[in-house]
Structure 1
């Protein structure tokens, strides 16, 4: 007889997990490229990846809820290994001999400016990885261990906060000089805006995240089998 409120998790063998992992990896790599561009909305300082970052966290919440903390931690490690691979690929593209006409030289200069910045952002991400993974996924996992299938909204809210802040500070500290942020006031603006924005988007998207998680719980074969056992 199943234990009341015992947490349920799915196996990773179904196609759904592969789709989630691929989506997370693509979002992280694209957001690193976008983050190489500084963006100004009046007095607000941010970067070109601002609209992508929150979705990586949301996908992390979905994976953690459906597949568990250990799988979620492996997923985030995989995405950052792929980020490092992307960084190495950028370096190879830059050093390959290109055309020497004016158009070719102009393209080479543009590629170097864009890809070196993207490469720096890809390389800096692992610095915040352990704390981000521990805070976001471990907090989520501990809450689910206590609550079982109840209070999903509390897990989604509780797994943000600290993990978001640590990741934002570390990323912004390394990305700031890449995109041309100078001076502490501008840097503080960048950090605060990034943290508030990411956290606000996660909270605002809780109804959507909840709907997605419930869809996976109904349609992930190994999840429904585990819940019924």
Structure 2
């Protein structure tokens, strides 16, 4: 599609699907942290045998796919607003979970232990997750936006995968050492092994979903009538303006 940078004064209200994409991003982010983060699943691989993995890996990488779509279609500045929305939602979710779990249970409530197991969160892991998400998503969006300019909008696959390699790499490099280094049962070798295994699986998931990314990007560009190139964008992650 021809380079059609949107006017600076354009608002999200002028786009029909931007708010839906934002809602999908925040929803997947929250649910992957609540439902999938605490479960270790196992899959049987030929030759290798049983291979354990964090269940959240099935859906959390989808947030990176949506982040790619946001940056590719609407530009870095609008993706930045969505990342901040997701960051605020995760912080509030952690705060709410901490308050609700800490409230004294009523005498008739007999499920406090199970409730605390499901929704109770270790502050160290929460802090690591929030920091890793924030840094990884911004790296992902920045790299994709810059690569789009370098490639003149061609070879979408190269920037979606390239940005994920770096974004998920930063995410993993921050999360696993902060969350587990020195923790009981976690040797340095295990932390490093899990870090690189999860990073490789997330990148692989991005590669598998490349056709979905292409379809979503093409559909949104056609219907929104926009294809943003971030040539003069202020890439500071601490701004919220467009």
CA contact (8 A) 2:144 2:160 kept: yes
| Aligned with residue 128 of structure 2, among 121, 124, 140 | 124
Q: Between Structure 1 and Structure 2, how many residues are aligned?
A: 218
SS of corresponding position for 1:117: coil
Give 1:50's aligned residue.
Answer: 57
Could you give the per-residue CA deviations for residues 129-175 of structure 1, whole angstroms, max 9, x where no partner exists?
A: 45323421111111222334322222212212121111023223344
| Aligned with residue 36 of structure 1, among 38, 41, 58 | 38
The 2-side partners of 1:19 and 1:131 are apart by 23
CA contact (8 A) 2:16 2:224 kept: no
The 2-side partners of 1:205 and 1:214 are apart by 14
CA contact (8 A) 1:7 1:144 kept: no
Give 1:216's aligned residue.
Answer: 220
Give, in angstroms, the shift of residue 92 of structure 1. 2.0
Give 1:136's aligned residue.
Answer: 140
Gaps of 5+ in 2: 44-48, 230-242
Q: CA RMSD in A?
A: 2.9
Gaps of 5+ in 1: none
Matched, 1:71 2:78: yes
The 1-side partners of 2:184 and 2:20 are apart by 35
Equivalent positions of 1:1-229 (< 5 A) are 6=3, 8=5, 12-13=12-13, 14-33=15-34, 34-41=36-43, 44-101=51-108, 104-105=109-110, 107-117=111-121, 121-176=125-180, 182-221=186-225, 223=226
The 1-side partners of 2:93 and 2:101 are apart by 12
The 1-side partners of 2:192 and 2:42 are apart by 14
SS of corresponding position for 1:44: strand
Give 2:237's aligned residue.
Answer: none
| Higher share in helix | 1
Could you give the per-residue CA deviations for residues 80-132 of structure 1, whole angstroms, max 9, x where no partner exists?
A: 1100001111122113332324xx23x11111122123776544323124532
